[in-house]
Amino acid sequence: MYLVIFFIFGALCIAGALNLLLQRHPINSALSLIVVMTSLAVLYLLLGAEFLAAAQVIVYSGAIMVLFTFVIMLLNAGKEERTRGSKAAYLVGFPGVAALLGLLTYIFLSIRTPLGNAQLGGGTLVTTSDLSRVLFRDLLLPFEVTSVLILVAILGAVALARKEP
């Protein structure tokens, strides 16, 4: 059962990443990145890392993507043409979402144990305090470098898109 969910959300993650690269409109690319980040959160949940899944949804799918969307809309120099969406989204999207929701409903209703009690990994239980100890003691430098790198990238995008008077 977990293998089926893994393949579904793994394929959804890859499809979202490919759509991110192939989109011509930056807002659509940002929405594809939200699909990728949410699919990764489900994969973390399948691994038994509930805290990482929640942090993935809250931090990346929520806050960072809102920031990216704000920067994209702030830097949009020209006027975008209105589109009616792709035909592939209508032909594949609606039946795909219906099939995915049906399959997930069946899987979640047929599971006997709650997801929180399932031991999927190596059998060791990692608590939030263990995770925070590793994150803020052993991996503090990469954690902070990543945040500074995102800030520099946003400032560089603003500087490049600024119009000179």
What b/e sequence results for 70-80 when a residue is b if at least 16 CB atoms lie within 10 Å of its CB, and e otherwise?
Answer: ebbeeeeeeee
Provide mean pLDDT across the span 6-23.
Answer: 89
| pLDDT band, very low/low/confident/very high, at 120 (cuts 50, 70, 90) | very low
Provide mean pLDDT across the span 42-51.
Answer: 85
pLDDT in tens, 79-88: 666 666 667 6
Provide mean pLDDT across the span 115-141.
Answer: 68
Q: Look at residue 114 and tell me whether its pLDDT is greater than 70.
A: no
What b/e sequence results for 89-114 when a residue is b if at least 16 CB atoms lie within 10 Å of its CB, and e otherwise?
Answer: eeeeeeeeeeeeeeeeeeeeeeeeee
Burial of 8 (C-beta count, 10 Å sphere; 0-12/13-18/19+): middle
* Predicted structure pTM score: 0.56
Angle between helices 26-46 and 65-75 (to 10 degrees): 170
Q: How far is CA 152 from CA 32, 77, 145, 147, in A?
A: 23, 20, 10, 9
Largest CA distance in the chain: 65
d(CA 154, CA 75): 10
